[in-house]
Amino acid sequence: MDRLISTEPATGLELWSGPLGDAAVEVAVARAAWPAWAAQSVSYRIETLRRFANVVRAKADVFADLIARETGKPFWEAKTEVASVIAKVDISVNAYSERTPMRKMEGALGAKVAVRHKPHGVLAVLGPYNFPAHLPNGHIVPALLAGNAVVFKPSEKTPASGEFLVDCLHEAGVPDGVLRLLIGGVDEGKALAADPGIDGLLFTGSAGAGASLARQFAETPAKIIALELGGNNPIVAWDVQDIETAAVMIVQSAYLSAGQRCTACRRLIVEDGTEGPLLEAITRLIDRIIVDEPRADPQPFMGPVIDLIAADILQDRFLGLMMKGGKAIRRLDRAYEERPYLTPALIDMTDAKDRLDEELFGPVLQIIRVKDFDAAIDEANATRFGLAASLIGGTPEMYDRFWANIRSGVINWNRPTNGAPSNAPFGGIGLSGNHRPSAYYAADYCAYPVTSVEADIARATIGEGLRDPEGNR
């Protein structure tokens, strides 16, 4: 196959097709164009990217419609993604100024110590399908601001959204050679990651793919790698006073984007014997959730998952949970086999054997009942991942204990696990990433610091260890 085809999850109709690209060719073009872009002033690059924000703003509804059709997410949600693309520019400009400024300090003998930052060169960006514009944009904009060239390969499941994003950047004045679009699947992604012409890789995707890339890049320590991976995220609901509000936050955490968010809640941990009213409120909300196509009226809360393969895998995993002793409260049902629509699932895994520690990337929430708050913290930490965690309810003292003991890069109180702010760092530990938080801290891995000791006049002496010039010892 020499072409990539993208279909709409909601309808199965072909949305877009295009020829497969060549990673080596795209990297070579970017490398040739990079020096001129790096030589431009920061203010020039900032102005270019602000024009990009205006281009996207003018095409917001068209862009949102394309994202909704290609991912299956509701149109209202796709509009929030486009808004995030626009907002990313000013946030990144502020982050660049704060995280990578030029600083001068006093040194010895009247010298000055200067700290400046340089771009790496050519950075590869591999994007995911769940936020096909917002998440790769979160790497591309900071990378371009810092003076890098970029080769961007969107997910093979959402190439049309990736192409639209790149077209907007080119229209705003980012040179064609400085930002290259690589269309392709797994093979093209592997070729891009392995190309000797890249100076780093910025990746958002699964833990398995991230681990493979980490092993590969262990052989090339000169290249930067930033891994933004998934999570098996917990919510601990404890001494909840407002049951209805807590239920809303849990449903938002578990089922927004049909559960296809790296920050989605996968596990709900509750106090055994007191969970009844909360679970009743959650199931009432689940039963009201509209699952429909992106432009349906009324607008749905959830659309389909990305494709039939994803739906099949999720149904197989849900059956596996039941085989291990899970008790389904709401099943993961499929309205019709030919489309990947799934209903929100809720399953009690308290008495299950050998609970799996994996990211079920879809609308599946597992409940685990524990005896006390210490056990709740232990259960929340019973994962190799470490992306997001929330405490709903409790006291300030309990939240202090929760925050101090939870292993996670995002820790919230009385807020959902998802919807992380873009004006703060974002990332996880364990299988959730490699300690390079993105969002506001993306500036940190898009340029490297250079320390210089500088003096107007050369001064040097050697005070010890030299023979007397007259021959005396």
What is the set of active-site residues?
228, 262
Terminal alpha carbon distance of the chain: 82
Contacts of 348 (CB under 8 A, 6+ apart): 326, 327, 329, 366, 367, 368, 369
H/E/C letters for each residue in 194-229?
HCCCCCEEEEECCHHHHHHHHHHHCCCCCCEEEEEC
Tell me the backbone φ, ψ of residue 186, rounded to 5 degrees: -60, -45
Distance (Å, rounded) from C-alpha 298 to C-alpha 88? 30
- Cβ-based neighbour number of residue 448 at 10 Å: 15
Question: Which candidate, 271, 234, 263, 253, places its Cα nearest to that of 394?
Answer: 271
Work out the burial of residue 68: count CB atoms within 10 Å of its CB; fewer than 13 is exposed, 13-18 middle, 19 or more buried.
buried
Distance (Å, rounded) from C-alpha 403 to C-alpha 236? 12
User: Half-sphere exposure of 415 toward its Cβ, with a 13 Å CA cutoff?
Assistant: 13
Work out the burial of residue 142: count CB atoms within 10 Å of its CB; fewer than 13 is exposed, 13-18 middle, 19 or more buried.
buried
Structure tokens at 385: 């991942």
- Which residues pair with residue 451 across a beta bridge? 115
